[in-house]
Amino acid sequence: KKKPKSLEKKHCNIGTIGHVDHGKTTLTAAITKVLSKDGSSKYVSYDEIDKAPEEKARGITINAAHVGYRTKNRHYAHTDCPGHADYIRNMISGASQMDAAILVVAANDGPMPQTREHLLLAKQVGIKYILVYINKVDLVENDIVELVEIEMREMLSDFGYNGTTTPMILGSALKALNDDESEIGAPSIRKLLDTIDNYVPPIIRDLESPFLMPIDNSFTVPGRGTVVVGTIKRGIMKKNDEAELMGFGFNIKTTLSDIQIFRSSVLEAMAGDNVGVLLRGTKIRSVETGMLLCAAKSITMSNHYKAKIYFLARSEGGRKKPIFSKYSQQMFSGTWNIACRIDLEPSMEMMMPGDHGDVYLTLLEGMVMTEGQPFTIRENNVTVATGIVTETLQ
């Protein structure tokens, strides 16, 4: 019997990023307009996108519009934010974790400070694919467009993307929105969409790596033992595989005695499956929600991580006072929480509410965290910061 090597998810999270007024919202509207004419999506006007509803993500307010559209190949959920601060909060909190981003840069301005900052953030929060749309080419000579393209390729390389192979599409989002069928109008949007379809690979569930499953719940089956419940994040688990239960400083060796999907026993289960797993010789009191079940010897736990953090401004319900190194509070991620100390970069004396930057986390006990994992910091049950893990330290 042939096993599927991977399961394709025909869905992609994307978004427009870039300097204010470079045409992000116009481009978003133009994409839906062109696709609506081609019959595969509903047109969403500039005004509908720009009056982005406020959303509460983990205690912080982000203005963001989520626009859905469909190409021949895929369904996209597209995020467009109205202001620079909204992008910072959105990206650092992982509120809409983008698989790819369209970096919009206006040809008449070239790259500007927010172009750089969004690109840097994109890299730090783990956005793998960037495409560049050089907008407003109706306003400048071709030579200028070429210079902007060179500058953008250099900037991409500086930030760790591949400046040589990153697709650049030239056009005018405004002309496209106004149904202009000249090359820089609607055709530039079709070209952009075709390029995204091809450049951003389908999101594949990882079935090759050793299995890993965060524990959502656990209970005792009288006469049998401890069952842990969760959704397998990656890999394939098989009955009788050796495994480790990790988290909160514990590393417990065990064996998968039985695996159940929808209450029937199976010989194996794979990424995406929601399963109950009977663990041999494991006591229920040693299992805590938020622990991780993983293939034996496949992962190491740490209590040191580097992270990107955003401290909520006072007006967002954040702290009133600045944050210094050795700031200790409860950290929440997924289904667990733990005491955590935050240290600032040595060059930084303090951070103010409303600031964002790199910090070092020291957890009270070892936990397994992966790059891109979002977390929040709460003081007396009030969220004061949100962040994303960027690196595991030893």
Long-range contacts: 176-184, Cβ < 8 Å, 24+? 176/30, 176/33, 176/34, 177/26, 177/29, 177/30, 177/33, 177/46, 179/33, 179/37, 184/137, 184/138
Region at 223 (left for phi over 0; alpha for psi -120 to 50; beta for the rest): left
Pick from 106, 36, 64, 75: nearest CA to 196 = 75
Catalytic site residue from 16, 19, 25, 79: 25
Kindly state the smallest distance separating residue 131's Cβ from ligand GDP, in Å.
Answer: 16
Kindly state the smallest distance separating residue 265's Cβ from Mg ion, in Å.
Answer: 53
Question: Closer to ligand GDP at the Cβ: 88 or 342?
Answer: 88
**Pairing mode of beta strands 274-279, 225-231:** antiparallel
**Is residue 388 a contact partner of residue 375, using CB atoms and an 8 Å limit?**
yes
Question: Closer to ligand GDP at the Cβ: 135 or 218?
Answer: 135
Dist CA 79 CA 44 (whole Å): 13
Catalytic site residue from 9, 66, 84, 239: 84
- Is 24 a known active-site residue? yes
Question: Closer to ligand GDP at the Cβ: 23 or 366?
Answer: 23
Pick from 255, 227, 258: nearest CA to 241 = 255
Phi and psi angles of residue 188, each rounded to the nearest 5 degrees, phi first: -65, -30
Residues that bind ligand GDP (CB under 6 A): 20-26, 135-136, 138-139, 172-175
Question: Closer to ligand GDP at the Cβ: 30 or 368?
Answer: 30
Catalytic site residue from 24, 33, 136, 308: 24
Q: Which does 136 bind (CB under 5 to 8 A by kind): Mg ion, ligand GDP, none?
A: ligand GDP
Burial of 184 by CB count in 10 Å (0-12 exposed, 13-18 middle, 19+ buried)?
buried
**Pairing mode of beta strands 302-311, 356-367:** antiparallel
- Is 21 a known active-site residue? yes
Dist CA 175 CA 42 (whole Å): 19
Q: Which of residues 8-67 bind Mg ion (CB under 5 A)?
A: 24-25
What residues contact residue 316 under an 8 Å CB cut-off, 6+ apart? Answer: 59, 60, 61, 354
**Residue nearest Mg ion, CB atom distance:** 25
Question: Closer to Mg ion at the Cβ: 82 or 230?
Answer: 82
Kindly state the smallest distance separating residue 242's Cβ from Mg ion, in Å.
Answer: 52
Kindly state the smallest distance separating residue 83's Cβ from ligand GDP, in Å.
Answer: 8
Q: Which does 390 bind (CB under 5 to 8 A by kind): Mg ion, ligand GDP, none?
A: none
- Is 84 a known active-site residue? yes
Kindly state the smallest distance separating residue 200's Cβ from ligand GDP, in Å.
Answer: 21
Q: Which does 384 bind (CB under 5 to 8 A by kind): Mg ion, ligand GDP, none?
A: none
Catalytic site residue from 21, 38, 194, 343: 21
Q: C-alpha angle 290/233/102, rounded to 5°?
A: 110
Pick from 354, 365, 358: nearest CA to 342 = 358
Q: How many amino acids of this chain bind Mg ion (CB under 5 A)?
A: 2
Question: Closer to Mg ion at the Cβ: 104 or 384?
Answer: 104
Kindly state the smallest distance separating residue 374's Cβ from ligand GDP, in Å.
Answer: 25
Residue ranges in contact with Mg ion by CB under 5 A:
24-25
The catalytic residues are 21, 24-25, 84
